[in-house]
Amino acid sequence: MVNKLRQHIIDRLGSAPDNIDEVLSTFQMLKLKRNEVILTQGDICKYVYFVASGCLQVFVYDKEMNETTRDIITENNWCSELISFGSQQPATENIRTVEPSDLLAIDRQGFQRLMETVPQFDKVYKQILEASYANSVYRINTFVSLTALERIKWLMEYRPKLMSRLSSKLIASYLGISQETFSRLKGKL
């Protein structure tokens, strides 16, 4: 599990920092089952997670308690509620596993410490933030103007694996359409 993170860091920085083992030991390992909630709306987000294996769903509830999924994170990616993590304000989103997942978690103190002792770690954080931002912008621009069918085609083109890996219900909530519409439109392809 730790090796996946090691490899990820090496890929990001181009080479391994001298004290990579110190970096890795700052993370704690979590083995989670399906459907475990790791962050609840209103709580303070205490960790940034690296997904070594499995899959996470980042979502909110609307006023009728329907879920809307803002993001789906698969292995070798980072997941957190960065705004809450950074500001220590209550989180506006929920996070849960949608598959059994292995996570590596780092808390604020650990994060702070790495920022100071490992100069390049600051760069990793910036990269995570920039990637998250780029992802959000892309999602807004792609989705605000697309029809339901176009959103499905978009998903098949850019994240095809999700189509077979996840439940229809989850995908529909990620695309912002009803389960029934998703089911019907899939037939028309």
Partner DNA sequence: CTGAAACGTTGACATTTGTCAACACGAAAC
Partner DNA sequence: GTTTCGTGTTGACAAATGTCAACGTTTCAG
Report the interface residues with DNA, using CB under 7 A.
34, 147-149, 167-169, 176-187
Out of 6, 139, 159, 169, name the contact with a second copy by CB under 8 A: 139
CB of 65 to DNA, least distance (A): 12
Q: Which residues contact 62 (CB under 8 A, 6 or more apart)?
A: 68
Cα 165 off chain centre by: 16
Cα 79 off chain centre by: 4
- Of the pair 4, 139, the CB lying nearest a second copy is at 139
Q: Which residues contact 144 (CB under 8 A, 6 or more apart)?
A: none
> Does the protein bind a second copy through residue 156 (CB under 8 A)?
no
**Among the listed residues 48, 55, 95, the one whose alpha carbon sits nearest the alpha carbon of residue 75:** 55
Q: Could you say which of DNA, a second copy, none residue 179 binds, taking C-beta under 5 to 8 angstroms by partner kind?
A: DNA
Residues within the interface to a second copy (CB under 8 A):
60, 62, 66, 68, 70, 82-83, 86, 92-93, 126, 129-130, 132-134, 136-141, 143-146, 176
